Structure 1
C-alpha cells in the first residue's frame, strides 16, 4: 500500500521556521527513527541545543532500528561524554550502518573518546567519516583514535581534527597508526593545531609510503616553516600519485617553501590540483 503524507500550510510554516530544535523535538524525531519502516539515511541536528537528555531518546531509537541511518550530525550541541557513551552503544551494534558521525564543537573529553574508540574497535568496518573538531580531543584523544586507525578492518576515509590542541605527541601516535594501516584514509584535516615542522616530518613518513592513498591534507595555521615544506615535498616526490589537495595556508612558509610547493603543483608527474599557499 502506498503511504502518503499531506502537509498543510501550518505544517509548512513549522518546517520552514527558524526556530531552534531542542531535546523535546529530538524525542519526537526519535519516535520516527524507531519505526521499523523508517528509511531515513541522513539526520542533521547541527546547533540545536541538544543535551545528553536528547541523546538518550535518539540512541534508544537507533538501537531498536539501527540499520538504515547512514549520516548523523550532532555538531555544536551540548553533547558531553555521557551523550557520546550513548552514541557509542549504537556504533558497537553489528547491525549499525552509520557511515558519517559529526561531533564537531561538542563537549567531549578523554572519557568520551574512550567509549567512542572502544565501540569503533569492536565494530570498525562501517564508519567512513568522523569529525571531532573543536577542542574536543587533544593528544590523549588522538592516541585513542589511533588505535582504531591501526585496525586493519578500519575503513575510515575522512578524519577531521581541526583545532583540537594536538601537538607532536599526538602526531606520533597518529602517524604510527597510519604507517601500519595506510590504505584507507583519504582526507585528513589537522588544521589549527600545534603540529609544527616536527609533526609535518612525521606526517611525511606516511605520505612517502607507496600504500598511502591520502588525497586531501589540510594543515593551515599549524606553525609550519620552510623546514616542514622540505620534508613534505620530499615525501611527495617519492610517492607522487595520490595527493590532490594540500593546504598550508596561514603558516610561516617563506619564499623557498612556496617555491617547492609551486614546483610540485606545476610538475605533470604529480596529481596535485589544489596547493595553498600558491603565490
Structure 2
C-alpha cells in the first residue's frame, strides 16, 4: 500500500501472510493498530469499534470513501472483529441481540464453549418465548465441529413450554449434543414439575446425554426431585446436581436417595434451603452408608435440628468418600454438636465441615476437645455464629494442642473475649494457617497482646506489683498466614496506629492480619 495510492476500495486491500521476509515485514494488523493508537482521538476509536461490531457498510463521516487512512482503519477493525468472534469462548446474548447472531453462531462463533442468555428484566411471555425459540434454532444448527459445552439459561422466566421447546431441539440434534453439552444451567426459572419432566426426557431412551453439571436451583418444582432421582441412574456422566431452594418432602428425598444408591457417579450435591426435615436427613444418612462417590454435600438452611444431624453424623463413619459437608443454619443445638464431634473422633474422611449459624445453648460440649485432638483428617472447621463462649474456646484450645491436621478455623461472630486460650494455641499448634476471630468480643488490650504473639514482637505490660514487665515471645510456634481480628466496634485513631505499628514490626513474614 503506497503513500501515493490515495484511491482504493476495501476489497482491493489484503492482509499479507507471506513469511518469506520476516525480518522486514511488519503485519498490517500491527501497522493499523499503531496508527490508530498514535494518530486518532477517542471519538474516532469509538466509531471504529462500533463499526467493527456492527459490520456496517456505511461510509465513514470523517473521510471520503476513497481515503487511504479510512480504508486502513476499516480493514484493521474488520479483522479485529473477525478474530474476536472466531476466538470467543464465552458468548453472552440478550433477547434484544439474539436474533442478530443466530445465523452466525454455528459458523463464525465456532470456538464458543459457553452460551449464556442474559436476562434483560423483561418478564413478559413473549420475551421467554423468543428466547426459547431462538436458542432452539441455534442448537439445531450445531454441527460436530462445535465447541459448545455449556448452556446457561438462568433467570430468564422460562416456563414448561419454553423448556419443552429447548429440550426438543436438544433431542432433534442429539447426535451432536449428546457428545458435546456437559453443563446445563436452568437456575431461577419457573419450570415447575412439568418443566422438570420435559428436561428429564433428554436422558431417557432413545436419547443419550453427556451432561456432567445440572443446575436446577429455585425452579419452583415441589415434586421434581422424584423425577431427578430416576434419571440419576440413567445418566452415568452426571457428577454435580444443584437442587437448592426447591421444597423437597420425605418422598422426594427417598426418590433422590434411591437414585444415589443405584449409582456411584454423583460427586457434588446441593440441597440448600430445601426444607429437608429429620426423616429426609435420615434418608440421606442411610444413603451415605451405601454411596461411595459423594464428596461434597451442601445441606445448609434446612432447619432439621438435632434429629437431622444425628441421622447424618452416625453413618459418616461408614462412608469413605465424603470430604465436604455443610450443615450450617440448621437449628442444631449442643446435642447435635456432640453427635457430630463424636463422629469426628473416629476419623471419617471429612476435610471440610461447616457448622456455622447453629446455636450452642449449653456449656456441655463433651466431645469438643477429643474431636480436635483425635481427628487426623479434618482441615477446615467453620463455627461462625454458633454462640461459642469463653469456656468453649478453652476446650478448643486444649484440643488444638494435639491437632496436626486442622489448617483453617473460623470461630468468628461468637461470644468469646478472653485472650489466654488464643495465646495457648499460638504457643502449641503448628498446623493452623488461617484463623478467623472477627466480630468477637475482644477488647483493645486483648487484641494488642494477641498481635504481639502473632507477630513475634516482644512487649511490655504494666504489672501492679512489678511495674513494667517485658514479655518475650520465644515460645510462639504458630505457622499462621492469615488472621482476621476485625473488631465489633471501632478503635480510636491512636489505637489503630499502635496496632499497625506492631504489624509493621512483625517477625512473621508470611503473616497477614486484618484489623
TM range (shorter): 0.7 to 0.9
Matched with 1:218 is 382
CA contact (8 A) 1:168 1:199 kept: yes
**After superposition, where does 1:113-128 map in structure 2 within 5 Å?**
113-121=281-289, 123-128=290-295
Q: For the residues of structure 1 that align with 2:303 and 2:155, how far apart are their CA atoms? A: 31
Could you tell me which runs of 5 or more consecutive residues in structure 1 were left unpaired when the two chains were aligned: none
Q: For the residues of structure 1 that align with 2:155 and 2:326, how far apart are their CA atoms? A: 31
CA contact (8 A) 2:402 2:429 kept: no
Q: Is 1:41 matched with 2:206? A: no
Q: For the residues of structure 2 that align with 1:199 and 1:206, how far apart are their CA atoms? A: 14
Highest relative contact order (Cα 8 Å, sep 6+), 1 or 2? 1
Q: For the residues of structure 1 that align with 2:434 and 2:153, how far apart are their CA atoms? A: 40
Per the normalisation by structure 1, the TM-score is 0.84
Q: For the residues of structure 1 that align with 2:372 and 2:152, how far apart are their CA atoms? A: 49
How much has 1:61 moved relative to structure 2?
1.9
How much has 1:179 moved relative to structure 2?
1.5
CA contact (8 A) 1:110 1:137 kept: yes
Q: For the residues of structure 2 that align with 1:124 and 1:102, how far apart are their CA atoms? A: 16
Q: For the residues of structure 2 that align with 1:61 and 1:189, how far apart are their CA atoms? A: 29
Residues 86-143 of structure 1, C-alpha deviations (whole Å, 9 max, x = no match): 10111111x331111111111222221222222222x231111112111332111111
Q: For the residues of structure 2 that align with 1:272 and 1:197, how far apart are their CA atoms? A: 29
Match of 2:336 among 170, 178, 188: 170
Matched with 1:97 is 265
Matched with 2:430 is 269
Could you tell me which runs of 5 or more consecutive residues in structure 2 were left unpaired when the two chains were aligned: 1-104, 107-114, 116-130, 139-150, 158-188, 439-483, 486-515
How much has 1:232 moved relative to structure 2?
0.5
Q: 1:216 to 1:199 in 2, by over 3 A?
A: farther
**After superposition, where does 1:221-240 map in structure 2 within 5 Å?**
221-239=385-403
**After superposition, where does 1:225-264 map in structure 2 within 5 Å?**
225-239=389-403, 241-254=404-417, 256-257=418-419, 260-261=421-422, 264=425
Q: For the residues of structure 2 that align with 1:263 and 1:69, how far apart are their CA atoms? A: 47
CA contact (8 A) 1:104 1:133 kept: yes
CA contact (8 A) 1:197 1:225 kept: no
How much has 1:263 moved relative to structure 2?
6.3
Match of 1:187 among 346, 352, 361: 352
Matched with 1:15 is 153
How much has 1:147 moved relative to structure 2?
2.4
CA contact (8 A) 1:105 1:134 kept: yes
Q: 1:64 to 1:169 in 2, by over 3 A?
A: same
Q: 1:113 to 1:16 in 2, by over 3 A?
A: closer
Q: 1:134 to 1:15 in 2, by over 3 A?
A: closer
Aligned to 2:367, the other structure's residue is in SS state helix
Residues 2-60 of structure 1, C-alpha deviations (whole Å, 9 max, x = no match): xxx959982179936532142232222212234664121111111121211x2232222
Q: Is 1:70 matched with 2:239? A: yes
Matched with 1:156 is 322
Matched with 1:26 is 196
Q: Is 1:208 matched with 2:377? A: no
CA contact (8 A) 1:104 1:134 kept: yes
**After superposition, where does 1:138-157 map in structure 2 within 5 Å?**
138-151=305-318, 153-157=319-323
Match of 1:50 among 202, 215, 221: 221
Q: 1:18 to 1:175 in 2, by over 3 A?
A: same
Larger radius of gyration between Structure 1 and Structure 2: 2
Matched with 2:123 is none
Q: For the residues of structure 1 that align with 2:228 and 2:302, how far apart are their CA atoms? A: 24
**RMSD (CA atoms):** 2.8
Matched with 2:230 is 60
CA contact (8 A) 1:200 1:232 kept: no
Matched with 2:506 is none
Number of aligned positions between the proteins: 265
Q: For the residues of structure 1 that align with 2:296 and 2:288, how far apart are their CA atoms? A: 12
Q: For the residues of structure 2 that align with 1:140 and 1:16, how far apart are their CA atoms? A: 35
